[in-house]
A and B are shown apart, each in its own frame.
Chain A
């Protein structure tokens, strides 16, 4: 069965430190990979996506994600965390032959001053 795993329910990082939010997937073929962010009391927003090409994808708010085909991972990263990055982050994957996005359960990111 196709699935997306975000192994950490919560990640705590001190402001200014690098952050990583993990995502691994089990989807056939070469899927499209996405990260979305949900700030408190706001709708989900697109952060970045991987389609093809360079394994390092850059997105909004200084975030980037690294696609690793052999490990079927798409971890979200940022070199220096801000308190305002505190939010709920979702990884999602789409099979290229299908319309449906498969979502991870989300990871709560808390950045402490």
Chain B
């Protein structure tokens, strides 16, 4: 696609429910990143994919969070048994090669998650 696409743009859920957030990166981009942005805060790194592999999952806040990427393309971030503190904007970004390069990231518009 022309840009990084995230869906849904907004998600309201009840505490304890599971949610799935989707990211469709730019075609051909091998690196994919998930970040979380809380109100008034900077970006919190969650997970990095290089192709279908996730060399770094260290940013996932708890075992309720998981992510996968299939076909080197679409990625899904799943949050199980959501808690109110999970409320935030979840951002996805992709880049062509990843690794320790100087290339820029392309961001999606994010999913605003609200846990009631």
CA–CA, A105 and B40, complex, Å: 8
Instruction: Tell me, rounded to whole Å, the shortest Cβ–Cβ distance linking B32 to chain A.
Output: 11
Q: Is the CB of B105 within 8 A of A101?
A: yes
Q: Is the CB of B43 within 8 A of A103?
A: yes
Chain B contributes a number of interface residues (CB within 8 A of A) equal to 24
Binding stretch for chain A, among B11-19, B69-77, B80-88, B107-115: B107-115
- Name A46's contact: one of B4, B42, B105, B109 (CB within 8 Å): B105
Q: In this assembly, does B102 line the interface, its C-beta being within 8 Å of a C-beta of chain A? A: yes
Instruction: Tell me, rounded to whole Å, the shortest Cβ–Cβ distance linking A80 to chain B.
Output: 25
Instruction: Tell me, rounded to whole Å, the shortest Cβ–Cβ distance linking A31 to chain B.
Output: 10
CA–CA, A97 and B101, complex, Å: 8
Q: Is the CB of A46 within 8 A of B104?
A: yes
Q: Is the CB of B100 within 8 A of A98?
A: yes
Q: Is the CB of A99 within 8 A of B99?
A: yes
Query: 10 nearest interchain CB pairs?
Result: A105-B42, A46-B104, A44-B107, A43-B107, A43-B109, A103-B43, A32-B102, A51-B102, A103-B42, A99-B99
Partner-A contacts on B (CB < 8 A): 4, 31, 41-43, 45, 48, 50, 55-56, 91, 93, 98-102, 104-110
Partner-B contacts on A (CB < 8 A): 32, 34, 36, 42-46, 49, 51, 90, 94-101, 103-106
- What would be 28 A-B contacts, judged by CB atoms less than 8 Å apart? A32-B101, A34-B104, A36-B105, A42-B109, A43-B91, A43-B107, A44-B91, A44-B105, A45-B107, A46-B104, A46-B105, A46-B106, A49-B102, A51-B102, A90-B42, A94-B100, A96-B100, A98-B100, A99-B48, A99-B98, A100-B45, A100-B56, A101-B105, A103-B42, A103-B43, A103-B45, A105-B41, A105-B42
